[in-house]
């Protein structure tokens, strides 16, 4: 009977020891709890800010009021045609684009008028501050053979930058190559406008 009791007690101690040993394997070697594999790694914040654009803003179209205009009547070379030069210089604070033909009309008082008409498809001309664009004008003078009787004679013209409204047109006096006052004496349906081009720099 005593042997049975001792055997039972020994088996109980053995089971307790096995349980303690099993629990010991779930801890770290130094007795601390083993790290769990469910710990999330720190997240890296995403850079949502957009990079600044390296493109410079595009220049806007020229306005009539930001340009200085001159209209020069050239010396007579032919009895059937007269020529003049319309020049616009950018005096505004920023670069602008002269994108098309300028508006131009020569009035005979408040009655008759002859408009400038361009031929061809002009390319935009970029004008930095202080640079200019020139348009060559050709018209039929009153003295030309077959000029007709629809004519205007005026010492100034109304002009505007391309795509600007007519109400913004400004008066430009006509001068000759010596800067003396002159007149455009034109006949016909229109004054021919050449393709706008950069104004040639004067020597020196």
For tokens 């008082």, what's the residue? Answer: 109
pLDDT value at 71 more than 80? yes
Q: Give the other-Cβ count within 10 Å of 98's Cβ.
A: 26
In percent, how much of the chain has pLDDT > 70? 72
CA distances, 13 to each of 1, 5, 16, 22, 62 (Å): 19, 13, 5, 14, 102
pTM score of the predicted model: 0.71
For the chain, which residues make up each domain, given as ranges?
Answer: 60-198
Is the distance from CB of 110 to CB of 64 less than 8 angstroms? no
Look at residue 46 in the predicted model and tell me its pLDDT. Answer: 52
Looking at residue 8, what is its pLDDT? Answer: 45
| pLDDT digits 0-9 by tens, 78-110 | 889 999 999 999 998 999 999 999 999 999 877
User: Whole-number mean pLDDT of the chain?
Assistant: 81
Which of 38-47, 140-149, 189-198 has the lowest average pLDDT?
Answer: 38-47
Spatial separation of the C-alpha atoms in residues 5 and 12, rounded to whole Å:
11
Q: Tell me the C-alpha distance between 122 and 64, whole Å.
A: 18
- Cβ atoms of 87 and 124 within 8 Å: the answer is no
Average pLDDT over residues 163-191: 96
Confidence of residue 72 (pLDDT cuts 50, 70, 90): very high
The predicted structure's pLDDT at residue 69:
98
pLDDT attached to residue 111: 74
Closest Cα partner for 100 from 84, 117, 113?
Answer: 117
Return the CATH superfamily for domain 60-198.
Answer: Immunoglobulins (2.60.40.10)
């Amino acid at each position: 009977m005593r042997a049975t009791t001792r055997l039972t007690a020994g088996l109980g101690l053995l089971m307790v020891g096995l349980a303690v040993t099993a629990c010991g394997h779930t801890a770290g070697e130094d007795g601390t709890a083993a790290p769990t594999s469910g710990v999330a790694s720190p997240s890296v914040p995403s850079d949502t800010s957009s990079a600044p654009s390296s493109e410079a803003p595009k220049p806007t179209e020229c306005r009539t009021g930001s340009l200085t205009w001159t209209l020069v009547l050239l010396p007579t070379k032919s009895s059937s045609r007269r020529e003049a030069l319309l020049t616009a210089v950018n005096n505004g604070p920023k670069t602008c684009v002269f994108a098309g033909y300028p508006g131009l009309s020569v009035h005979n008082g408040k009655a008759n008028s002859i408009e400038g008409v361009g031929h061809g498809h002009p390319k935009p001309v970029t004008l930095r501050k202080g640079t200019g664009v020139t348009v060559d004008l050709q018209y039929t003078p009153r003295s030309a053979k077959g000029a007709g009787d629809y004519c205007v004679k005026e010492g100034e013209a109304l002009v505007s930058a391309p795509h600007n409204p007519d109400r913004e047109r400004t008066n430009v006096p006509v001068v000759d190559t010596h800067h003396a006052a002159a007149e455009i004496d034109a006949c016909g349906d229109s004054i021919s406008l050449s393709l706008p081009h950069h104004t040639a720099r004067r020597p020196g």
